[in-house]
Amino acid sequence: MSKKRIAIVGATGMVGEAMLAVVQKYNMSKHDYTLFSSKRSAGKKIQLFGKTHIVEELNEKSFDSGFDVAVFSAGAGISEVFAPIAVEKGAVVVDNSSKFRMNKDVPLVVPEVNPDDIKSHKGIIANPNCSTIQAVVAIYPIYREYGIKRIVYSTYQAVSGAGVKGYTDLDSGIRSYVDGIERELVKFPYPIFDNCLPHIDDFLESGYTKEEQKMIDETKKIFHDDTIAITATTVRVPVFGAHSESINLELDKEYDLEALKELLSNSPGLVLQDNVSENIYPLASNSVGKDEVFVGRVRRDFSIKNGLNLWVVSDNVRKGAATNAIQIAKVLLED
């Protein structure tokens, strides 16, 4: 693999910092990195592979020097303006925002599921929503082997999915409970501490939230299958890191439960944790900082023919954002 030039846009944010951790984990030291941020964080010094990088302010001339890959994690507004500029200057963009996900000309990629879609890019590749990524990693082997008629997603999403302000609201709630001093909310419409909010992103006219609709639309696009019936309810819970999901499936074919578990245990990116006699099942607290998707509580749904229940947990900042994006970048660099 020859030496390439990589730009990380949003390098000082929560996901950007995780991206830098992932490139070090993958030992991608051969390449040259340039780190970009907003004016507020420009000038910050970051150590990467033993070298000090000074974060540069992103502007319209940032990509003039030429990059092979530019990984964006700075929000849809930044991606809308600067991703086309990066492409025009010769870079392939891996975008972590929602801006391009449902664009028909932009592949939406989870490397364990649809890596071949990377080849069809026209300059931009989209990273799916965090809750979608972990879900499809878990259910794709089942879809491939048995087919899926219907999916019911119920999510229990950590405040890290709402960024630093989400962290702040949960931390403030804990402090308020301890010292009795009420603190102002900066992210959520209601306190998240000691609470569950069935409200992630804006509500649509349908009554669904954008987060719920994302999971529906993105699953169909990643699988290239509009025939699957999908519904979703997404909930913010008072957990700092890692999303948990209850996934109910109706399969096309009959299945043997032990064979299905064996299939999951041998699937890329998945770790089966399923021994209820010893209280072994995926936990958010055990998933933080890890790049895998953990699946357990695998059991038959007796209420419908070929029904199946799964419990799926993953670090939404790592696999749900940073790791997935860097995996895509790695494929591009190796090609």
What does DSSP assign to residue 323? H
Distance (Å, whole) CA 308 – CA 234: 19
Q: What is the mean pLDDT of residues 107-128?
A: 98
Active-site annotation holds for 121? no
Distance (Å, whole) CA 101 – CA 210: 13
What the block records as the tokens of 3 is 């030496």
What the block records as the tokens of 45 is 């010094």
pLDDT value at residue 168:
97
Ranges of each domain in the chain: 5-128+321-334, 132-316
Mean of pLDDT over the chain: 97
pLDDT value at residue 2:
77
CATH of domain 132-316: 3.30.360.10
**Predicted confidence (pLDDT) per residue in 243-274, tens digit:** 999 999 999 999 999 999 999 999 999 999 99
| 129 Cβ contact partners less than 8 Å away, ≥ 6 residues apart | 98, 101, 211, 214, 215, 218, 320
Share above pLDDT 70 across residues of the chain, in percent, rounded to a whole number: 100
72 phi and psi angles, rounded to 5 deg: -105, 130
**Predicted confidence (pLDDT) per residue in 80-103, tens digit:** 999 999 999 999 999 999 999 999
Query: Quick one: 246 exposed, middle or buried, by C-beta within 10 A (0-12, 13-18, 19+)?
Result: middle
Helices (H), the chain: 14-25, 76-88, 130-146, 163-179, 210-223, 257-265, 284-287, 323-334
pLDDT value at residue 335:
77
What the block records as the tokens of 244 is 């948990």
Strand 32-37, strand 5-9: pairing = parallel
- Give residue 170's pLDDT band: very low, low, confident or very high (50, 70, 90): very high
Of 53, 121, 224, 243, the catalytic one is: 243
**Predicted confidence (pLDDT) per residue in 195-238, tens digit:** 999 999 999 999 999 999 999 999 999 999 999 999 999 999 99
Q: What is the mean pLDDT of residues 176-180?
A: 95
pLDDT value at residue 53:
96
pLDDT value at residue 1:
56
Side chain identity at residue 261, one-letter code: K
Of 31, 53, 121, 130, the catalytic one is: 130
* Helices 257-265 and 130-146: angle between axes, nearest 10 degrees: 130
Active-site annotation holds for 130? yes
Distance (Å, whole) CA 204 – CA 320: 24
Q: Which CATH number fits domain 5-128+321-334: 3.30.365.10, 2.60.40.1180, 3.90.550.10, 3.40.50.720?
A: 3.40.50.720
Q: What is the mean pLDDT of residues 105-132?
A: 97
